Structure 1
């Protein structure tokens, strides 16, 4: 069943929408799409643009969402920026989380909560010979390769990685953005947030448009730039994720700077 969401934000009592736009967007059963939908809606609406979002799929794995973007079945998708994606799709050149997705914390089995407590640098981490798990085509794969860290790739639905984590098995940890990890841990209480380390690389989510919707690039880019300058993006980041930052103790963590390829 299709979910419809329409928002018209008038700038004054006598204003009217100078333009309207209809977008077909993916959604996720865990609600991780909600920030991106709202950022898009409110950024465009603040510029007097009437926005209709159609979310015909209650849940789309990332790999399938990319295929639908290629086939024009969805209008746009948010992904971590990579050179390959920049060549394949039309990029809206504005970061969407102010780099939060590049700050990574490990989700680990409960018995491994203190496994990493003595790590002070990347060499210490490498010597543990632990293996991370990633979804197919994730930018993290390139980062882990560039930093000589062990990993395996899960093809298909990446969320299967939650159930693959173990102390002695093939996947020992799952690296997640600081804006993702606490809500995901709550959904998987048999896992814990590793309390000691913070991995950092230089990347962010951006919107990628299908070729059929590439003409929206200038309009969406302009709206997002203004949302950044006006404080709207900061406001939404705070509304969705600020409750996580203090509990994660980001300032007290050992920061491991990763080479960004």
Structure 2
């Protein structure tokens, strides 16, 4: 067709416009957050995180379904982190570490109103008297006790930073209960979040709950987001910041974890042992 013919330029303009619209649509699709939030987590935490996300999204005016991907109780957290890195799950609540910050996107809003960073100890039966006189971190160090932890736990770096011995295992961390119970093992206690202990103490009558101490550090658990999901990370930061500012997270944490203030946890009555932590 003659380049001077008006029809030529009209057809060319239509083609370029169509290409531009398709390119814009493709860019928007890539930039938009996923239509469903695939949520990972332990069986103990996933329900709470789903509640917080659901209420925070609704309060901010968003309608986005959440799909919890339930795993067996013995499913290693290291595998869930790998799934997060691959984008097979989109969101996972974890203790914050510099290593995780380098692998995932962070939503730097505390998810539990600092309840998870209060640690209570499982100890072998009949050993309570060894802890009764402890008032300070230095006094606890002198006991020479060794903590049992999962290899990927964020607590590990905090314990080591504070000069507290740790023995870790890979794979199914639930073997730690048996390790603490066994007199043949060097490990002598298992630290658990106050919210976890409020459920687990009845499940493990072979162990005692230490009665007086709570180990506390500054880092609350946060949400980590798959590295491909920048728009989702931005959205969750927006809605969770609002939920924190409005008191919604505090309200949900107090309701969901109310048992931490009941026997045998009695969080409000314990002596606090403050641990240093390095903010990523």
Query: Is the shorter-chain TM-score for this pair beyond 0.5, marking a shared fold?
Result: yes
1:42 alignment counterpart = 55
1:23 pairs with one of 26, 34, 37:
37
Structure 2: how far apart are the matches of 1:66 and 1:78? Answer: 10
2:84 alignment counterpart = 69
Structure 1: how far apart are the matches of 2:242 and 2:93? Answer: 19
Q: Please list, as runs of the form range in 1=range in 2, the aligned pairs for 1:145-164 lying within 5 A after superposition.
A: 145-164=160-179
Deviations 1:167-222 (A, max 9, x none): 73222111111121120112222222100111111101111110222211121111
1:180 pairs with one of 173, 184, 196:
196
Residue 48 of structure 1, CA deviation: 2.5
Structure 2: how far apart are the matches of 1:216 and 1:158? Answer: 30
3-state DSSP class of the match of 2:187?
coil
Structure 1: how far apart are the matches of 2:259 and 2:242? Answer: 25
3-state DSSP class of the match of 2:80?
helix
3-state DSSP class of the match of 1:49?
coil
TM superposition score normalised by structure 2: 0.80
The verdict on how the C-alpha distance between 1:122 and 1:37 changes in structure 2, with shifts beyond 3 A counting, is same
TM superposition score normalised by structure 1: 0.86
Q: Which moved more, 1:203-212 or 1:110-119?
A: 110-119
Deviations 1:139-168 (A, max 9, x none): 211111111111101111212211211373
Structure 1: how far apart are the matches of 2:255 and 2:137? Answer: 33
Structure 2: gaps of 5 or more residues: 1-32
Aligned pair count reads 242
Larger Rg: 2
Structure 1: gaps of 5 or more residues: 1-18
Structure 1 vs Structure 2 CA RMSD: 1.9
Runs of 4 or more, structure 1, over 6 Å off, are none
Q: Please list, as runs of the form range in 1=range in 2, the aligned pairs for 1:124-135 lying within 5 A after superposition.
A: 124-135=139-150
Structure 2: how far apart are the matches of 1:216 and 1:81? Answer: 19
